[in-house]
Amino acid sequence: MADMHALVRLMREVEDQLASCMRCGMCQSVCPLYAATGREADVARGKLALLDGLLREMFDRPDSVRERLDRCLLCGSCQAGCPSGVRVMDIFIKARAILAGFSGLSFSQKMIFKGMLAHPALFDQLTFWSSRFQKLLTRPINEMLGTSCARVMSPLIGDRHFKPLADRPFHHEVPFLDTPAGRSGRKVAFFVGCLLDKIFPKVAGDVVTVLEKAGVGQLIPQGQACCGIPALSAGDTQTFQKLLRHNLERFPVDDFDYLVTACATCTSTIRKLWPLMAEKEDTSTRRRVARIAEKTLDISQFLVDEHLLTDVPSVGRASKPTEVTYHDPCHLKKSLGVSAQPRTVLNAIEGIRFVEMEGADQCCGMGGSFNIKYYEISREIGERKRKAIQASRCSVVATSCPACMMQISDVLSRGGDPIRVRHVVELLAERWKDNDNYPSAH
Ligand code: SF4
Ligand code: SF4
């Protein structure tokens, strides 16, 4: 382990940003973790104070600060509401990287990130074969939500109700696509992301359908990799940089007008964290990353902002509308300020009556690896979301992030609630598919 002085030198990178926190405590009122635990060390102010203490060499055990920093959903609620504009997420991400570089990754983190995620082809193979064998260890539990649970006690899965790996990942269905701009005159690259590819391939297929119907040309490059957020959240910047370079090679930025995703987490990572972490790359790489980030949009945002929803077919006769509510993924609303467009899409679909739920933008408690490390707290936060969904009295809850879909499916499935969890784009694609009069692609 390097010495404390070396760590403090590295921490100087975030010193100026730390100084902008005026300790007002406003972040307490919005932090889902603080609401669950009531501990000052869990809220942004407390974590920033710990990092400040580390800088001043007040602690001789940086690992305990690292543990505190890991107890965070990286939901960005604190940053979105901070009156001093403290870039809390940038500080946390950089500090996690510095601390992980200082004390090293655990054995399991090395296995997962350096051994698997950093090698996209191997990762694809491993998840594919896991999907073949998962039925031995798991059993279906809720047909409506499509969840499963462990057959026997599993230390990793616990008693979660989870969405299993799909039999066929999306990249087996559509390994490559390159179509010219249709009547919209636009061409987009589709960044699929791991969860859509391996757990929700239907949603990825629905993105393709919707873009086709909207007359949008598509580029789906072969061999695209994870956006890198799981590795970066754990502080593994090496794996993150490797995945960033891998993806940059596959998405030639001059070949498309926009890069779209249907995953709020991927969108936010590409828009915000790719440029943040490319700061030390050469000029040409930095420029490419900045241009891709500027072009990256959530699928609903793309469809609405580019006025491509005018052709959504109606059902014709008024049938009983389905009542649908919407959960705002933190990475979409708090990180990117995108909340109106998914609602516009839902409101454009005839046959749906949109109902706003109380606290639609409150975190669902997923938080990526937070859900694995701190499942009980994650579940408690998720329970609050479940109550809000129940109170909306809707039969469907829509959202724009596959990670939120997994968390919400878990809490609803455990509670036995007859409420479906859908991606906004699924509902739109279904309306387009159901109607023979949809517009032609060209
Ligand atoms: S992070 Fe922002 S909201 Fe929280 S205490 Fe500091 S200044 Fe106040
Ligand atoms: S990112 Fe979310 S969980 Fe973490 S400190 Fe901020 S509000 Fe709390």
In degrees, rounded to 5, the angle at the alpha carbon of residue 292 between the alpha carbons of residues 291 and 297 is 120
Q: What is the pLDDT of residues 81-104, one digit of tens each?
A: 999 999 999 999 999 998 998 889
User: What tokens does 185 get?
Assistant: 């005159």
Q: What is the CA(302)–ligand 1 centre distance, in A?
A: 33
Name the pTM for this structure: 0.94
Q: Which residue has the tokens 């107890």?
A: 71
- Give the pLDDT confidence score for residue 59 in this predicted structure: 74
Which ligand 2 atom is the nearest neighbour of the CA of 79?
A: 6
* Separation of CA 38 and ligand 1 centre (Å): 16
**Beta-strand relationship, 217-220 and 352-354:** unpaired
Closest residue to atom 2 of ligand 2, CA basis = 75
Per-residue pLDDT of the chain (442 residues), as tens digits, is: 457 777 777 788 888 889 899 999 999 999 999 999 999 999 999 999 999 988 887 777 788 889 999 999 999 999 999 999 999 999 999 999 989 988 899 999 999 999 999 999 999 999 999 999 898 889 999 999 999 999 877 777 788 999 999 999 999 999 999 999 988 999 999 999 999 999 999 999 999 999 999 999 999 999 999 999 999 999 999 999 999 999 999 999 999 999 999 999 999 999 999 999 998 889 999 999 999 999 999 999 999 999 998 765 554 445 678 999 999 999 999 999 999 999 999 999 988 999 999 999 999 999 988 999 999 999 999 999 999 999 999 999 999 999 999 999 999 999 999 999 999 999 999 987 766 544 444 3
**31 close to ligand 2 (CB < 6 Angstrom):** yes
Cβ–ligand 1 contact at 89 (below 6 Å): no
Q: Are 52 and 86 in contact (CB under 8 A)?
A: no
Q: Burial-class residue 233 by CB neighbours within 10 Å (0-12, 13-18, 19+).
A: buried
Structure tokens given for 148: 């499963």
Among 26, 43, 96, residue to substitute to test ligand 2 (most atoms within 8 Å of Cβ): 43
Q: Which of 122, 99, 137, 128 is CA-nearest to residue 2?
A: 99
Which listed ligand is nearest to 331 at the C-alpha? Answer: 2
How far away, in angstroms, is 89 Cα from ligand 2 center?
9
Alpha carbon distance 160, 360 (integer Å): 23
**pLDDT tens digits along 341-390:** 999 999 999 889 999 999 999 999 999 889 999 999 999 999 999 999 99
pLDDT of residue 2: 53
| CA angle, 76 then 80 then 82, to 5° | 110
Q: How far apart are CA 61 and CA 58, in angstroms?
A: 9
Cα(180)–Cα(246) distance, integer angstroms: 24
Token pair 């979105």 in the structure block, residue: 80
Whether ligand 1 lies within 6 angstroms of the CB of 29 is answered as no
- Single-letter code of the amino acid located at 119: H
Six-digit token string for 357: 């739920």
What local confidence, expressed as pLDDT, does residue 187 receive? 97
Verify whether ligand 2 is closer than 6 Å to residue 78 (CB atom). yes
Residue 91 Cβ inside 6 Å of ligand 2? The answer reads: no
pLDDT of residue 1: 47
User: Which of 21, 29, 30, 31 for mutating ligand 2's site (highest number of atoms within 8 Å of CB)?
Assistant: 31
